[in-house]
Amino acid sequence: MLQTVNDLTVRPATSRVKESIFNILQRKVDWANAAVLDLYAGSGSIGIEALSRGAKSATFVEQSHTVAGFLRKNLALIGAEQESRVWIGDAVQFIQTSSLYFDIVFTDPPYANTDLAQLPVSIFEHGLVAKGGYMVMEHPSSISFEPTALYIPVDTRKYGRTMVTFFKEGKEPRQ
């Protein structure tokens, strides 16, 4: 059982949503070679699930030092410290400054975030998604995404008031 803070500042993905995400990705991702980014990581449950399915590496971005402490304990609990990095800081700053790119970018931002609709734009503009990779975003069902020059929503699933949208690059892939 993963540990996290005992308040409502962290909203881990439900088992149903997490299972659905990984069932959809199972045949689309070469997990043994996959570099994963878990933005707004919280307890790290999504990135840890990717590691448990054989992901090569996972980078976790979490703003709270306290929550990141629990995340590190969770990584130690499963023995995944070697293939994991925990970056403590603002997710938007990470997006804007990272020179890394990932096969899968998971993002589950706080629903109160007023820039949710801009998050995929920022992630694809800054090149965080590797050629052929996916961005997966959990968001409120009140937000929907249309294709742009940067990305294409390739799948959307609804779970009550929660939506999960899968994105692929919408322009010519990077070389």
Q: From residue 34, how far is each of 75, 125, 133 by CA, in Å?
A: 18, 21, 9
0.95 surpassed by pTM: no
User: Residue 108 and residue 71: Cα distance in Å, rounded?
Assistant: 15
In this predicted structure, the answer to whether residue 57 has a pLDDT above a threshold of 70 is: yes
- Structure confidence at residue 14 (pLDDT): 74
In this predicted structure, the answer to whether residue 2 has a pLDDT above a threshold of 60 is: no
Beginning with the edge strand found earlier in the chain, give each strand of the sheet holding 57-62 in spatial order. 84-88, 57-62, 35-39, 102-107, 129-140, 162-169, 151-159
Centre a 10 Å sphere on the Cβ of residue 40 and count the other Cβ atoms it contains: 21
Query: Which structural domains are found in the chain, ordered by start?
Result: 15-21+29-169 (3.40.50.150)
User: Residue 25 and residue 21: Cα distance in Å, rounded?
Assistant: 6
What's the pLDDT tens digit per position in 13-54? 678 889 999 999 998 999 999 999 999 999 899 999 999 999
- Structure confidence at residue 173 (pLDDT): 45
Of residues 3 and 54, which shows the higher confidence score? 54
- Structure confidence at residue 10 (pLDDT): 47
Residue 169, Cα to own-chain centre: how many angstroms?
Answer: 16
Tokens 């799948």 locate to: 155
